[in-house]
Structure 1
Amino acid sequence: MVDAEIQRHFMGRTVVARALCSRDHPGKTVDEMIEIIKQHGTDRYDPNRKGFRYDNLQNKHIDLFAFRRKVTQRMRLFWGLSWGFYHGPVSIGNKPVRIDILIIYDATRLKAVLHQYEGRTDKKRDGFVFRDPARKQEALLGIVKIQ
């Protein structure tokens, strides 16, 4: 159902999709987070707040973690996003995390960051930086509130 909504609005485009759980932002409701995203172009509104998994062996700057996908009829984006929100926490003995918000970005306005997590030998391209950090809002294509 979520993929169908993304397909309805962005068919044929290449997007970068970021999933969020509002509980990772204490004191903020889902609607408040959506307003912050609209205003800043990202949920990373506090530069002093350390994000989960932002450390990497190369100490590269990463603005956000997300999935890059070409929106097609066969795309299964939400499955991939939700898999990590379920299995990641469970693998370390925590409860699964509910996705509240999807942020959809224009892939041409972000650049993938090749990096490596500590304790792993593979390199990842799930980190992204804004090509123009002063214009983050312009990279924003849509926000999906998951109910």
Structure 2
Amino acid sequence: MELTLARVIPVLSVALPDYTVDSEPDHRKLGKRVDDELRRHFTGETVLVRGLSSAAHPQLSVDGLIEVVKLHGTDRYDATRAGDRYDNIQGRHIDLFAYRRKIGPRTRLFEHLCWGFYHSAIAIHGKPVRLDLLTVYDASQLSIVTHRYEGRTDTKRDGFAFKDPCAKPAALKAIIRLTA
């Protein structure tokens, strides 16, 4: 009988007690704290970083969402659930949206995620959204999916698809929990 040990996906925590969306957060200040954690663990690596809000998963607690992501490798666990902005005029398959970055001493990533979840969420959904988790992926295990939206001429490069759809959890390097 062969015993297979499951790979442990680390869950890191960053305390952000001053991060709320009751008013516009200080994206740069929050970004520095989260980016410091990314540098601590991933300097020199090219990763994909995806922001998640538990508000998009009302049936799950933050801990429940973490367990789902560990199991499935992504928060896209329900094939029948429509994702936000996954439609594109080419009809290309996108597993997730993320920022692709090589982590280095000058990496500034979280301020952009935080800004987008505040301002873009207001524009699209009418209210800001607080990030609860970041998922960090090995960029070599996903392919870029260039795409365009209806009514726009710019080509987007923020869509990604897993190279091996049967091994999504293997692409996941870590989950970062943003605590209050």
Report SS of the residue matched to 2:51: strand
Which residue, 58, 72, 76 being the options, matches 1:44? 76
How many aligned positions are there? 147
Q: Which amino acid aligns with 2:173?
A: L
Q: Distance in 1 between matches of 2:115 and 2:176?
A: 18
- 1:91 deviates by 2.2
Q: Distance in 1 between matches of 2:89 and 2:46?
A: 28
The residue aligned with 1:66 is 98
Q: Which has the larger radius of gyration?
A: 2
Q: Distance in 1 between matches of 2:124 and 2:163?
A: 34
Q: Distance in 1 between matches of 2:75 and 2:121?
A: 20
Report SS of the residue matched to 1:99: coil
Q: Distance in 1 between matches of 2:124 and 2:101?
A: 28
Deviation by residue 1:61-87 (Cα, 9 ceiling, x = unmatched): 000000000000100110111121111
Which residue, 79, 86, 93 being the options, matches 2:111? 79
CA RMSD of aligned residues (A): 0.9
The residue aligned with 1:122 is 154
The residue aligned with 2:140 is 108
Which residue, 27, 34, 37 being the options, matches 2:59? 27
- 1:54 deviates by 0.3
The residue aligned with 1:14 is 46
- 1:95 deviates by 1.6
Report SS of the residue matched to 2:117: helix
Q: Show structure 1 runs of 5+ residues with no match.
A: none
Q: Which amino acid aligns with 1:8?
A: R
Q: Which amino acid aligns with 2:87?
A: D
Report SS of the residue matched to 1:42: coil
The residue aligned with 1:143 is 175
Q: Name the % identity.
A: 56
After TM superposition, the score normalised by the length of structure 1 is 0.97
